[in-house]
Amino acid sequence: MKLKQRVVLLAILLVIFIFTKVFLIDNLDTSAANREDQRAFHRMMAGLRVELVSKLDHTLQSPWEIAAQWVVPREVYPEETPELGAIMHAMATKKIIKADVGYKGTQLKALLILEGGQKVVFKPKRYNRDYVVEGEPYAGYDRHNAEVAAFHLDRILGFRRAPLVVGRFVNLRTEIKPVATEQLLSTFLTVGNNTCFYGKCYYCRETEPACADGDTMEGSVTLWLPDVWPLQKHRHPWGRTYREGKLARWEYDESYCDAVKKTSPYDSGPRLLDIIDTAVFDYLIGNADRHHYESFQDDEGASMLILLDNAKSFGNPSLDERSILAPLYQCCIIRVSTWNRLNSLKNGVLKSALKSAMAHDPISPVLSDPHLDAVDQRLLSVLATVKQCTDQFGMDAVLVEDRMPLSHL
């Protein structure tokens, strides 16, 4: 064989060797990531049931100090949380030392301060578990039990971006009124034999109060994020206009995602993938009301999208509002870890996991069976949407490694 031919042959073999090595390394990395996702899933399932216990072992810190230390830019609580039961027990039982009207918003809530100085947001029960909210997906009052269910779904999906929530019963006459501010106290009234209040908010009306069963009111309490982590509000790029006859751009522009990818903070960093994760989360719970979202301030897109205010969900188990998934089917990208977790939850696993996670909550049963069944059915729609994307663009283009920079998308 002539020298020139040998050189060409060696060059070809070298190229084949390099491509083979890169391919094998890439597949080994992918396999390792998949195995770690599986281990994370099994760890989550093993620690799913949270029993509310009164004692914190092996620490002199208060429940509030531990919860505050958990918060970092990319998660509200860590993967392993042995103290979670004690923190939630404190949220559900600690003495209320002050009660005030809620922070700004459209829905009724109260701001409570618990013994030890911890702020929590109390959302009162408005509907029985089997009540179906008819009309638009964002119709009706906030659902307190939806906040509880959404928190546990956040745990199950492995996002860890929702503040801690637990159910609680409060006696309005003995626990709230004696420590209420004048502004809150002025909204109390009696309807029949029931103590009620209507608070201060955009839609709060004296004619539409929330009423206790006698004096005892069921509700949810959401742990206030530490003040050292101030929040920044953002307009959701896939938000609705809420104006009759006026469509948002994403509702008619098929290339809208391309425009979003060129806009900060979605042109790089994790924020666009957070939007996709949130679309999946909101679709599963039936929440079509996330027209804004919060992150931590001055984060330059590095902070997580925090899953706050999830109470406009679990209103109608028959709801199949596919437009909630618009970020997913328009961008056709999703985190590998999210995809792996969703696949691990099919075949009834999600329903079973959610039911198990909420079993020890003080207001259990948190969801009715039709709502649990609906979550399982919606999961199938999410998986089908991702499959349509992979069929069209291929797995490599759709499944994005969590730490991959997004400027190339």
Which positions are annotated as active-site residues?
289
Is 154 known to sit in a ligand binding site?
Answer: no
Is 136 known to sit in a ligand binding site?
Answer: no
Is 261 known to sit in a ligand binding site?
Answer: no
CB 48 within 8 A of CB 156: yes
CB 276 within 8 A of CB 326: no
Is 222 known to sit in a ligand binding site?
Answer: yes
Is 338 known to sit in a ligand binding site?
Answer: no
Length of the chain: 409
Nearest Cα to Cα of residue 380 among 406, 350, 409: 350
Is 134 known to sit in a ligand binding site?
Answer: no
Is 123 known to sit in a ligand binding site?
Answer: yes
- Cβ neighbours for 14, distance < 8 A, ≥ 6 positions apart: none
Q: What is the DSSP letter of 165?
A: E
Token code pair at residue 18: 């390099």
Is 284 known to sit in a ligand binding site?
Answer: no
Helix axes 336-344, 3-46, angle to 10 degrees: 50
Q: What sign has the CA pseudo-torsion 152, 155, 157, 160?
A: positive
Is 263 known to sit in a ligand binding site?
Answer: no
Cα R_g (the chain), whole angstroms: 24
CB 350 within 8 A of CB 376: yes
Q: Distance between CA 329 and CA 326 in Å, rounded?
A: 5
State the binding site for ATP: 107, 123, 222-225, 294, 309
Q: Give binding residues for Mn(2+) as ranges.
A: 142, 309
Q: Known binding site: residues?
A: 107, 123, 142, 222-225, 294, 309
